[in-house]
Amino acid sequence: DQQVKQNSPSLSVQEGRISILNCDYTNSMFDYFLWYKKYPAEGPTFLISISSIKDKNEDGRFTVFLNKSAKHLSLHIVPSQPGDSAVYFCAASTEDSNYQLIWGAGTKLIIKP
Amino acid sequence: ETGVTQTPRHLVMGMTNKKSLKCEQHLGHNAMYWYKQSAKKPLELMFVYSLEERVENNSVPSRFSPECPNSSHLFLHLHTLQPEDSALYLCASSQGRTSGANVLTFGAGSRLTVL
């Protein structure tokens, strides 16, 4: 059973508009959530994270929102740019999980010019 | 060289072959990881080494054998693989545990095809 789910395999957004990528989780013990971005033929790169004690974290055009009661987090990209076209992975961990990160299956974001 | 470097980038092997994947990190990190990525599936953690000691081994079949000779190098030795082992194998490193802001830096991956 997947503890971290990204239910949208792909998402298409017009350039300049807002992109919203969603992630749901089942384990209420998760302490940290991270988003990674992956371009073809490259490894994933870290984008932004949020601690479970916060409900929002912002870094430039990227904002992550956490709704603990709904066990849901989302990544907002405003405004969307062509270079944002990539696969986005949501991942989660607990404070005592040693080296384990629990990953979602990814959402492919396509930014249309 | 900077970051995490993986070689080879592509590998095709038969089920009876023996081959190795190599990873090198130039970041001074003390933990290194092997992940498997299959199409449309979450990344699967295979092995973790911290300060050259294996600290995680996620029920990986014995046909995959990791080796960490020092904190900068990590190998994945492959033998008698199955076609279902075809996947992208990603190496990563981190400064320590993955909790909090301790994030992973990934290599570009080795695309493995088993015939």
Strand B10-13 to B110-114 pairing: parallel
- Which of A8, A101, A107 best tests the B interface by mutation, with the highest count of B CBs <10 A? A101
- Which of A1, A30, A99 best tests the B interface by mutation, with the highest count of B CBs <10 A? A99
pLDDT in tens, B52-89: 777 777 789 999 999 999 989 999 999 999 999 999 99
Nearest CB to A99; choose among B40, B48, B103: B48
Distance in angstroms (rounded) separating the CA atoms of residues B72 and A54: 35
Helix (H, G, I), strand (E, B) or coil at A5: strand
pLDDT in tens, A63-100: 999 999 999 999 999 999 999 999 999 999 887 776 78
Distances (CA, A) of A49 to A32, A62, A67: 7, 10, 14
Determine, for residues B42 and A95 on separate chains, whether the beta-carbon distance falls below 8 Å: no
Residue B89 CA, chain-centre distance (Å), reads: 6
The whole-chain average pLDDT of chain B stands at 90
Determine, for residues A104 and B42 on separate chains, whether the beta-carbon distance falls below 8 Å: yes
Distances (CA, A) of A91 to A14, A34, B104: 26, 5, 11
Distance in angstroms (rounded) separating the CA atoms of residues B20 and A100: 24
What 8-state DSSP symbol labels residue A17?
S
CA distance A94 to chain B (A): 7
What 8-state DSSP symbol labels residue A54?
-
Partners of residue A51 in chain B, C-beta under 8 Å = 100
| Tokens 């992940």 -> residue | B35
Distance in angstroms (rounded) separating the CA atoms of residues A75 and A35: 8
Determine, for residues A98 and B56 on separate chains, whether the beta-carbon distance falls below 8 Å: yes
Which of the four pLDDT bands, split at 50, 70 and 90, describes residue A21?
Answer: very high
Q: Please give the pLDDT value at position B1.
A: 61
Q: If you average pLDDT over residues B96-105, what whole number do you get?
A: 71
Q: Please give the pLDDT value at position B16.
A: 85
Distances (CA, A) of B3 to B29, B72, B102: 10, 11, 15
CA distance A14 to chain B (A): 24
Determine, for residues B108 and A41 on separate chains, whether the beta-carbon distance falls below 8 Å: yes
Residue A32 CA, chain-centre distance (Å), reads: 12
Q: What percent of chain A has pLDDT over 90?
A: 88
Determine, for residues B40 and A106 on separate chains, whether the beta-carbon distance falls below 8 Å: yes
CA distance B43 to chain A (A): 6
Determine, for residues A43 and B90 on separate chains, whether the beta-carbon distance falls below 8 Å: yes
* CB A75, CB A26: distance < 8 Å: no
pLDDT in tens, B15-49: 888 999 999 999 999 899 999 999 888 999 999 99
- In sequence order, what DSSP letters do the residues of B75-109 get, joined into one string? EEEEES--GGG-EEEEEEEESS-SSTT---EE---
